[in-house]
Structure 1
Amino acid sequence: MKDTPAEELATHILSEAIRRAGIPGESVDDVIFAESLYGGGDLARYAAAAMGLTQVPGQAVNRHCAGGLTAVGNAAGSIRSGMDRVVVAGGVHSFSTGPALTWRVPGTDETQRRIPPTFPYTAEATDDTSVSVGWNLAVKYGLTREQMDAWAVRSHERAIAAIDAGVFDDEITPLKVTRPDGSVVEFAIDEHPRRDTSLAKAAALKPLHPEIDAFSITAANSSGMNDAAAALTLTSSSYAAEQGLQPLGTIRAWGAIGVDPKYTGDGGIVSIPLVLKRAGISLSDVALWEINEAFASVPVAACQELGIDDGKVNIFGSGCSLGHPIAASGARMLTTLTHGLRRRGGGIGVAAMCAGGGQGGAVVVEV
């Protein structure tokens, strides 16, 4: 999808989310899409207008990696407060077509390419996420490269097994993509999971920062940079009953939290107790977990520190295998989590992730 702009992804996923929900477009009160590093537009409003839903506003939210979860939380809050009845929420990200931002260097007439910072950079908390997210967390919790590589390889194995079993078929909406030669193909299967991944191949990769002693973060135990969009249609229980709709699940709680940017990966850990408390549940009540693999160190540390059974975490793969389209990942995780809970007959699930700048977010869903 390298030549498919985010606006097209947003319009496609909004249209499909409304269609699959069986809801008239004119019933939608708002569209909330997360976006990150995409130049300051409003993809949600663009998609609504492109569909002819000119009466439907659109809201862009940015909490970087956790933006999709925040969009769902904002939608749930608006519905629970009685302000809205139907909101489509999710996230859209296109690394391939993201704009290159420039700014004028203060005190000069020179312009430079620049990514606006989310926090004040220091020697230990930099804009290099392999350090501030992956490596610093591994050091803090005493994680070995072998632990992280093993998690990443298993992530690929789980993702490939899920693809082969058709697990994602109900979650994916195929997209027709026009190639440079003018031919049109249907894109319907995630291309990032690797069938040939092995512990030996992972161990052979060089660390991303060989100049740092014992640096253990590699391309293998890091997430991919991907293009994607994901969305969920949320309604009030009264609207669903009036329309004869059968909800797939219920949003029980949501939340976001800040952490020291030096340990940004902690955001995916400390956000979990926050939402468990808000939902009035404990770890033992959770049947399935989605803890984003921005780097494998995040779910490994979360399981180690919180006592989570890793057999219940990312059972169909995550960032290391499926990839991490920043603003879309949270909504993708919630979608996969909801369908996974339905396959097992119901239960409670938690989606959690760290986010750029020393943040984290999580959502509790019940099926």
Structure 2
Amino acid sequence: MHTYIPYGAYWSTPFARWQGSLSHLHSMEFLAHTAKSELARRNIDPGVFDFAALGITMIQHHAFYGLPWVTAMMGIEHLPGPTVNQVCATGARLVATGVGEMAAGNSEVALLMSGDRTSNAAQVYYPAPHAPGGAGVTENVMFDNFMDDPFAKCAMVDTAENVARKFGITTEEQHDVALYRHEQYQAALADDRAFQKRFMADSFDVPDAKFRKTVTTLRGDEGVYPTSADKMAGLKPMRPGGTVTYAGQTHPADGNAALVMTKTAERARDLSPVRDGPLVRVLATGSGREDPAFMPAAPILAAKQALQRAGLEMTQIDVIKSHNPFAVNDIAFARAFQLDWKSMNNFGSSLIWGHPQGPTGLRAIIEMIEELELRGGGYGLFQGCAAGDSGMAVIIEVR
């Protein structure tokens, strides 16, 4: 069974580098604030939804209440639903969740939303009364988990180094990818951000923490800094004898994104805010898990599964977007499928515009839809890795 995304019934806030202009906002309250406004801007009645799912990976105050709190803040008090966390693959997992609900006959129109704030990550204390002295364990939810996979016993950057060794990827290659991805991102900013304006507000008003007044206005992403080959050449690898520098990886960010999904093409056309827009079908999703400590290679397995489920070959894919926390991701993926990595990630990727985690994949999928529309239709593949050496992929057709 195929599901549909009404063309134009999706959005993303700008992504702001952590500790930037969005760092004061509770991510769930901010998500509700944004979604309510964006639905109104598209003349979509919130009452049409019979299912919703929330993706969040960085806990916030009262996050225990999950999706029902977010929809209640939007005035959709009748709408329950799950809260989903597959870390960096949360966006793709939300799409798979919506597909599953519709296949089971549980939903006709769904709202899939994700918001995260990596800024000011929670500091958690876990009591341990039976430990010596009764001392518990403390954790910085973001940094401690980035630096220590409890099963693979390594930091995320170590997984990138492992994949770099496996595929013979050098620092110079990673820097070439990063420079080229910066160039691709400039295409999204051309003509006064014409591409980004397809799914992102021209001027985004940032509210105060109580959502009563505007404290600043963002015109596009915040914290994407220009770079050059000379700047990159002066960077040393993070690990002695390694290859991955700070230039070859993404930065934490804050933001949110969402999309609408329907069970039928007719409903998708009805809810599309664009008259006579293209038909967007979700053809398949896939997932995979790599050997311990080889996280950046996991999307290869996920993409193979999604392609098989869709009945497609990689040669039939017109647009590829990736969540690439490391430049290593794109090089390894391209080599696995005999691709030119320059053909991937037109108009940008998370390597450049940042990684708020939950919303990252949703934004990439939205950009993929818009790129497919610009080229007159075709097949698109999104793929990305996630903590626990896992990965997910989504295949979409625009026609």
Same-fold call, TM > 0.5?
A: yes
Q: CA deviation at 1:20?
A: 5.4
- The aligned counterpart of 1:145 is 171
| 1:156 and 2:193 correspond | no
- The aligned counterpart of 2:7 is none
Q: CA deviation at 1:204?
A: 0.9
Whether the aligned pair in 2 keeps the contact of 1:269 and 1:354 (CA below 8 Å) is no
Residue identity opposite 1:151 in structure 2: V
- The aligned counterpart of 2:197 is 169
- The aligned counterpart of 1:322 is 353
- Counterparts of 1:279 and 1:285, CA distance in 2: 11
CA deviation vs aligned residue, 1:197-255 (integer Å, no higher than 9, x gap): 1111112112222xx32x11111100110001111100121651683745651111012
Worse overlay, 295-304 or 155-164? 155-164
- Counterparts of 2:318 and 2:174, CA distance in 1: 23
- The aligned counterpart of 1:26 is 47
CA deviation vs aligned residue, 1:295-346 (integer Å, no higher than 9, x gap): 0000111001111232321111212211111111110110000011001111
CA deviation vs aligned residue, 1:91-144 (integer Å, no higher than 9, x gap): 21100143222212452422332249799736xx33511112x21111111100
| 1:58 and 2:42 correspond | no
5+ residue gaps, structure 2: 1-21
- The aligned counterpart of 1:229 is 256
| 1:219 and 2:246 correspond | yes
- The aligned counterpart of 2:150 is 121
Q: CA deviation at 1:194?
A: 2.2
Q: CA deviation at 1:21?
A: 5.2
- The aligned counterpart of 1:287 is 318
Worse overlay, 237-246 or 251-260? 237-246
Whether the aligned pair in 1 keeps the contact of 2:254 and 2:356 (CA below 8 Å) is yes
- Counterparts of 2:268 and 2:84, CA distance in 1: 29
Residue identity opposite 1:251 in structure 2: V
- The aligned counterpart of 2:131 is 107
Whether the aligned pair in 1 keeps the contact of 2:261 and 2:268 (CA below 8 Å) is no
- Counterparts of 2:149 and 2:186, CA distance in 1: 39
5+ residue gaps, structure 1: none
- The aligned counterpart of 1:12 is 33
Whether the aligned pair in 2 keeps the contact of 1:261 and 1:359 (CA below 8 Å) is no
Percent identical residues:
25
- Aligned partner of 1:249 among 255, 263, 280: 280
CA deviation vs aligned residue, 1:137-163 (integer Å, no higher than 9, x gap): 111111000001110111112112311
Larger RCO: Structure 1 or Structure 2 (Cα < 8 Å, ≥ 6 residues apart)?
2
- Counterparts of 1:244 and 1:88, CA distance in 2: 12
- The aligned counterpart of 1:204 is 234
- Counterparts of 1:151 and 1:86, CA distance in 2: 39
Whether the aligned pair in 1 keeps the contact of 2:44 and 2:271 (CA below 8 Å) is no
Residues 350, 128 of structure 1: alpha-carbon distance in 2 compared, 3 angstrom cutoff = same
- The aligned counterpart of 2:9 is none
Residue identity opposite 1:9 in structure 2: F
Whether the aligned pair in 1 keeps the contact of 2:29 and 2:73 (CA below 8 Å) is no
- Aligned partner of 2:58 among 24, 37, 43: 37
Whether the aligned pair in 1 keeps the contact of 2:149 and 2:156 (CA below 8 Å) is no
Q: TM-score, normalised by structure 2?
A: 0.83
- The aligned counterpart of 2:397 is 366
Whether the aligned pair in 1 keeps the contact of 2:185 and 2:348 (CA below 8 Å) is yes
Matches within 5 A, 1:79-90: 79-90=102-113
Residue identity opposite 1:283 in structure 2: M
Whether the aligned pair in 1 keeps the contact of 2:27 and 2:115 (CA below 8 Å) is yes
Q: CA deviation at 1:76?
A: 1.7
- The aligned counterpart of 1:136 is 162
Q: Secondary structure of the equivalent of 2:246?
A: coil
- Counterparts of 2:59 and 2:271, CA distance in 1: 38
Residues 31, 183 of structure 1: alpha-carbon distance in 2 compared, 3 angstrom cutoff = closer
Worse overlay, 340-349 or 165-174? 165-174
- Counterparts of 2:27 and 2:271, CA distance in 1: 33
| 1:340 and 2:365 correspond | no
Whether the aligned pair in 1 keeps the contact of 2:33 and 2:74 (CA below 8 Å) is no
**RMSD (Å) for aligned C-alpha atoms:** 2.4
- Counterparts of 1:243 and 1:265, CA distance in 2: 39
Residues 243, 52 of structure 1: alpha-carbon distance in 2 compared, 3 angstrom cutoff = same
- Aligned partner of 2:217 among 162, 174, 186: 186
Q: Secondary structure of the equivalent of 1:261?
A: coil
Whether the aligned pair in 1 keeps the contact of 2:98 and 2:261 (CA below 8 Å) is yes
Whether the aligned pair in 2 keeps the contact of 1:48 and 1:58 (CA below 8 Å) is no
